[in-house]
Amino acid sequence: MKEKTTKNQRRRPTQARARKKYDAVLDACTQVLTAQGYTSATMMELSLESGVAVPTIYQYFENKDAIFLAWINRVIDNVLSQVTVLAGSLENQSLEQYVEVLIKGALMMVDSYSVSIQQMQQGVPRMLSSKVIATMEDKTVTMVESLFETPINNAALTDLHFKIQTLVRLITGYFLQTLSNTDRKIDIDKEAVELSRVVNLYLEGIGLKGRVPGLM
C-alpha cells in the first residue's frame, strides 16, 4: 500500500539510503513513544532516549503527531498488504471461505501489533485518532474495491461504493474496539468465524454473494 505524507510530516525520502535512514529514525522514535506513551514523551525526550539528534528528527518530522501518524500508517499498510498477498494466494474458495480466511489473516496481523498500539495510543488527541480512523477506512475501502475489481468510476457504482464504505466502517470499528480492550485475549479462530458470518450476510445483501474476488 502506498503511504501518504501527512500534513505535518516533512517530505519522505525516495532514495534507498535516505529511506533506510528515515525508517531508522521512525523506528527509534516510535520505540520511545511506545515505552513512554504519547502524552509523556516530548521531542527532546525522543531524542535523548532514542539517541537520534533533534535536528535529524526534525529533518523528517515536524512533531510527535507526525511520528505517530507515520508509524500507524505503516502498520495499516503492512496489514493491508499482507491481506492482499493472502488474497492472491487463495484458489478454489467459496466467497464465504475467502472472506473468513482474509479476516483471520487480518486479525492475526492486528493482534501482532496490539500491545504496541495500546501503549502508543495512550493520551493521543481525539483529532489525531480521527485522522487514523479516516486513513484506515479509506485505505481499506481501496483494498476491498481492488479485490472485487470494482473501481468507482461512474455514477452507477456510487451506491456500491457507499455500501462498501459502510461495511468497512463496521469492520474497522470492530478492530478498533478489539484493540482498545486490554482485558481479554482475542480468540482469532472463533472471532474470524463470527465476523466473517456478518460480513458475508452484508455482501449477500448488497449483491456480491458468490462473487469471489479475482474470479469475476
Question: Which residue would you say has higher pLDDT here, 207 or 84?
Answer: 84
pLDDT in tens, 118-137: 877 777 888 888 998 999 99
Q: Rounded to whole angstroms, how far apart are CA atoms 152 and 160?
A: 8
Confidence at residue 216, expressed as pLDDT on a 0 to 100 scale:
41
Question: Which residue would you say has higher pLDDT here, 5 or 87?
Answer: 87
Cα-based angle 147, 108, 66 (whole degrees, multiple of 5) = 80
Q: Rounded to whole angstroms, how far apart are CA atoms 11 and 5?
A: 7
Q: How confident is the model at residue 189 (pLDDT cuts 50, 70, 90)?
A: very high
What are the angstrom distances between the C-alpha of 58 and each of 4, 50, 78, 167?
18, 14, 25, 38
Confidence at residue 145, expressed as pLDDT on a 0 to 100 scale:
83
Q: What is the CA radius of gyration of the chain?
A: 19
- DSSP character for 47? H
Cell of 114: 496490539
| pTM across the whole model | 0.82
Confidence at residue 3, expressed as pLDDT on a 0 to 100 scale:
47
Question: Which residue would you say has higher pLDDT here, 118 or 70?
Answer: 70
Q: What percent of the chain shows pLDDT beyond 70? A: 84
**How many Cα atoms within 13 Å fall on the side-chain side of residue 167?**
26
Confidence at residue 160, expressed as pLDDT on a 0 to 100 scale:
80
As a whole number, mean pLDDT of residues 138-164 equals 75
Q: How confident is the model at residue 35 (pLDDT cuts 50, 70, 90)?
A: confident
Q: Rounded to whole angstroms, how far apart are CA atoms 33 and 70?
A: 13
pLDDT in tens, 91-111: 777 888 889 999 999 999 988
Q: Rounded to whole angstroms, how far apart are CA atoms 55 and 10?
A: 12
Question: Which residue would you say has higher pLDDT here, 170 or 7?
Answer: 170
What are the angstrom distances between the C-alpha of 44 and each of 26, 48, 56?
15, 6, 12
Confidence at residue 213, expressed as pLDDT on a 0 to 100 scale:
57
Q: How confident is the model at residue 215 (pLDDT cuts 50, 70, 90)?
A: very low
Neighbours of 97 (CB within 10 A): 14
Confidence at residue 12, expressed as pLDDT on a 0 to 100 scale:
67
